[in-house]
Structure 1
Amino acid sequence: MIAMAPANETAPSRSDLRFAALVVCTGILIGLRYHLALWVLDERGLSVVSHGMPYWDFTNLWAGGRMTLDGHIAFLFDLDTYRATLRQMFSSDLPNQEWSYPPSILAFGVPLSLLPIFPAYLVWTFGTVLCLWLAVWPLQLSKLAKAAIMLCPAVLINAAFGQNGALTTALFIGGLAAAPKRPILAGLFFGVLTVKPHLGILVPFCLLASGNWRAILAAALSSAALVILTGLLLGPGAWVLFWTQTRPLMTAILEAPYPQPYQSNAATMFFLARASGFGLTAAYTLQTIATAAAIAAAFWIWLPWRQVEHRERVVLAAVLATLATPYGYSYDTIGLAVAVVYLFSTRSTMPRIYLTLVWLYPAIAHLINNAGLGIGVLVPLSLSAWMLTDIISRERRIAVAATPGRNTQPPEA
């Protein structure tokens, strides 16, 4: 596999670093303001912002683990029973929530449910961010750059919801980063990523393009092992109920009339189509085009003879992954922040203001979506387009320079 450095790689200037510090501080302040507001509770013990538990999505993971430990895993797949049980656990005024995960995610939920919910939330949040820190280590970024990723708005939004975006991004980026030299480890990461399978759509195409058959085999075996193991521990009925109950429920949530409250953080081509007034057929058609384009681009950049260094492949695939799925939200866009930090560190020609807007977008996504625009998907679309154009231009320059008889020496000053 060709491993070449970007043609215009350069260390950020002092003014760049001052600008980056200002942007990072702005993102942190926005995130902290939201977090502080989220933890203002009313007399029912619910957040005055979300009107639910302060760690809204983590409530599902923890409660699912608790119900499983209590021998009531079937409750997860019966909507009315699940909601009634949640209200018994937390508050009779708790808004409606749904179980939306495959049973394999209970490998995390059950151990966490052994702790009280707030300590479990802290373990989950800081533990998954630690996984993200370890996953970006092979990208050879500076400590300040890695810190900027850990403190980006997408991570802070992820923490506010108690979501799993830091974990899934760590599995995706960590797996792709490890794939060439440690394919078995990469396959294990991809197997665990099946707890959110729609976020790993591009993985098999990246591995196929690079001819990494060991990683493909390891991913297939680890995925199958996770399904079999959870089936043995939880009973085969858990997977049957997931397929017959949870999967149709999540499809119905995806296809619900626009707008819905949860769509305020959406960032996919499917939601852009719905926000623009298109019906389901047109929305699925546009999403299919976006998914196919993301797959084609990912396959192209992972071909071994492309003039792309490995870490550039990894971060661009992370950006494309947000285009490939119809079911993505702002807390799933941590990969964009990784790409922004990589580009800021290695591209002197990339407009700093544009990178700033991409980095900050998850913090303001709900404002733009609530205004009826739904343009979140344009952020990864534009970023991936710029990166692909840069790669194509670089390859053309290299091809021209390699033309026989052409003077490749730089002109004298």
Structure 2
Amino acid sequence: MKAATPAEPRRAWASGFTLLNDRRFWLAFAFLVTLLGFPRGMLTGWITRTGEVYSTTHPGGGDFIVFWIASRMLLEGHLSGLFDPSQFSRYIIDLYGSDFGVRWLYPPHFLFLLAPLGLFPYLVAYGLFMGGSLAAFLFVAARVWGDRSVALWLLIAPVTALGILIGQTCFIVGALFVAAIYLWDERPILAGILLGLLTVKPQFGVLIPLVLLLERRFLVIAVASVTATALIGASILAFGIEPWRAFLFGLQDPTGAILLSERDAFLSVQMTVYGAARYFGLSFAAAAGLQGMSALFAVGSLVYVTLSSARRDTKAAMLVTATYLTLPYVLYYDLAAPTFVALWLYFGHGRRARPGIAVSALLVGVASISFINGAATTLWHVNVAPVAFLALAVFLIWSVGRETSPGFDRFENARP
């Protein structure tokens, strides 16, 4: 029998640690650490604390109070007060003794989705809204992915815990955004309908028309336009023109107060270049200038990637990334779509080769950025969230060169 060389015992010893070489282990480990520690201390402490970002002086769900109150006001015939910040505040104070600093900032046709919630007690409505929207997001993710495995990862992802605890619209936005851009090749009519529905939070579709025009997806554009027009028209028929006038011209003060806020607790959970610059202490003008530069870089990068012959999933990832680099206002619960993109790239979905260690670490960071940013703001008073999106954009630009090179494997160039 051949004697073992000195290298063989080392290989045998290393083989006992194959779990540590499994990217599923490291992703699960990162998500576990996040769930135990985001964003400022142990999770249980975060749930029960009170303050500017989250409050437990009313039943759970944090921001869900906005949607439930909106439904109640609509059903009780107080629609005009919904778009009046002072009346909206008084309505909440009458119920809970404090308005928690929240306001209604959404277009009138969003009320079609929210109207039934006011028929139920707060906690029942909260469960229905969050449970239904999360189920929709997981269904869409599994449909786009091709199997249910991604749903398990999304269930333990930071965005899911944050979305549920805060009671926000992240799952609705994620489902509409992901389904539309990943399915518009095979289901252009459905994609157009979903993009029309995405106008309930229109800022997340800011770059989609550009991509649709560059790729000459005129059917998607037409269906999305018809869907959005129908929703707006239906809301005018149902509620009148006044809510739209108030939405377009009457919410400048609360919107401006959000963008001009100097509260550290608020700026520390913004995921944008503007938010990071303001948190660092820069003036509004300087932060806006940096945000403008970020938007120019994002749009230029998006045009370059879209017009290239790179893989379809690379283009979809660039659209999501560019959107988050363009918007001046994104909070830490608005990360459903970037989390899906990070998982797709991290597992090398539909590809022969998975990313290396450095890129894998970046993608885990993007999927866990709420915790990483929470730790960075706590320890060093630095908002690092936009750095992750900038790095992801650079990686995707680099990927175009690789995917369009003459020696690139044809299998890799095929659409997933």
* Pairwise CA distance, 1:215: 0.4
Match of 1:269 in 2: 273
Match of 1:297 in 2: 301
CA contact (8 A) 1:38 1:50 kept: no
* Pairwise CA distance, 1:269: 1.3
TM-score normalised according to structure 2 size? 0.84
Match of 2:67 in 1: 61
* Pairwise CA distance, 1:96: 2.7
CA contact (8 A) 1:209 1:300 kept: no
**CA distance in 1 between partners of 2:283 and 2:53 (Å):** 34
Q: Tell me the alpha carbon deviations over residues 338-384 of structure 1, each in whole angstroms, 9 at most, x when there is no partner.
A: 12211221123253333332222213434434553222111111112
Go from structure 1 to structure 2 and tell me whether the alpha carbon gap of 1:200 and 1:135 turns closer, same or farther (over 3 Å shift): same
Residues 127-206 of structure 1 mapped to structure 2, 5 A cutoff = 127-140=132-145, 143-206=148-211
Q: Tell me the alpha carbon deviations over residues 128-156 of structure 1, each in whole angstroms, 9 at most, x when there is no partner.
A: 11221222234436533332123210221
Match of 1:392 in 2: 401
**CA distance in 1 between partners of 2:70 and 2:187 (Å):** 33
**CA distance in 1 between partners of 2:78 and 2:43 (Å):** 33
**CA distance in 2 between partners of 1:379 and 1:202 (Å):** 20
CA contact (8 A) 1:165 1:334 kept: yes
The structure 1 residue matched to 2:347, chosen from 327, 345, 348, is 345
* Pairwise CA distance, 1:209: 1.5
**CA distance in 1 between partners of 2:248 and 2:235 (Å):** 14
Go from structure 1 to structure 2 and tell me whether the alpha carbon gap of 1:366 and 1:395 turns closer, same or farther (over 3 Å shift): same
* Pairwise CA distance, 1:29: 3.6
Match of 2:336 in 1: 334
Match of 2:282 in 1: 278
The structure 2 residue matched to 1:308, chosen from 303, 307, 310, is 310
- Partner secondary structure for residue 101 of structure 1: coil
CA contact (8 A) 2:56 2:62 kept: no
Go from structure 1 to structure 2 and tell me whether the alpha carbon gap of 1:362 and 1:180 turns closer, same or farther (over 3 Å shift): same
Match of 2:5 in 1: none
- Partner secondary structure for residue 113 of structure 1: helix
**CA distance in 2 between partners of 1:41 and 1:71 (Å):** 35
Q: Tell me the alpha carbon deviations over residues 316-351 of structure 1, each in whole angstroms, 9 at most, x when there is no partner.
A: 322222111111111112222112211221123253
**CA distance in 2 between partners of 1:343 and 1:156 (Å):** 22
Match of 2:233 in 1: 228
The structure 1 residue matched to 2:213, chosen from 208, 231, 234, is 208
CA contact (8 A) 1:319 1:335 kept: no
CA contact (8 A) 1:198 1:327 kept: no
**CA distance in 2 between partners of 1:263 and 1:366 (Å):** 11
| 321-330 or 92-101, which deviates more | 92-101
Match of 1:405 in 2: none
Match of 1:73 in 2: 79
| 233-242 or 243-252, which deviates more | 243-252
Where structure 2 has 5 or more consecutive residues not aligned to the other structure, the ranges are 1-18, 349-353, 411-416
CA contact (8 A) 2:278 2:287 kept: yes
Question: Aligned residues: percent identity?
Answer: 22
CA contact (8 A) 1:141 1:345 kept: no
- Partner secondary structure for residue 385 of structure 2: coil
Q: Tell me the alpha carbon deviations over residues 154-175 of structure 1, each in whole angstroms, 9 at most, x when there is no partner.
A: 2211111101111111111111
CA contact (8 A) 1:69 1:110 kept: yes
* Pairwise CA distance, 1:37: 4.1
- Partner secondary structure for residue 96 of structure 1: coil
Instruction: Establish whether residue 27 from structure 1 lines up as the match of residue 34 from structure 2.
Output: yes
Q: Tell me the alpha carbon deviations over residues 45-102 of structure 1, each in whole angstroms, 9 at most, x when there is no partner.
A: x99962543312111011001101111011112222211111222x114533211212
* Pairwise CA distance, 1:233: 0.8
CA contact (8 A) 2:325 2:389 kept: yes
Which amino acid letter does the alignment assign opposite residue 363 of structure 2?
L
CA contact (8 A) 2:71 2:118 kept: yes
Which amino acid letter does the alignment assign opposite residue 26 of structure 2?
F
Match of 1:8 in 2: none
TM-score normalised according to structure 1 size? 0.84
Match of 2:10 in 1: none
Match of 2:263 in 1: 259
Match of 2:94 in 1: 88
- Partner secondary structure for residue 302 of structure 1: helix
Go from structure 1 to structure 2 and tell me whether the alpha carbon gap of 1:208 and 1:116 turns closer, same or farther (over 3 Å shift): same
Match of 1:411 in 2: none
Which amino acid letter does the alignment assign opposite residue 24 of structure 1?
F
**CA distance in 2 between partners of 1:287 and 1:69 (Å):** 40
Which amino acid letter does the alignment assign opposite residue 94 of structure 2?
Q
Which amino acid letter does the alignment assign opposite residue 15 of structure 1?
D
Indicate the structure whose relative CO is greater, using CA pairs within 8 Å and at least 6 residues apart. Answer: 1
Which amino acid letter does the alignment assign opposite residue 384 of structure 1?
A
Number of paired residues? 383
Instruction: Establish whether residue 360 from structure 1 lines up as the match of residue 368 from structure 2.
Output: yes
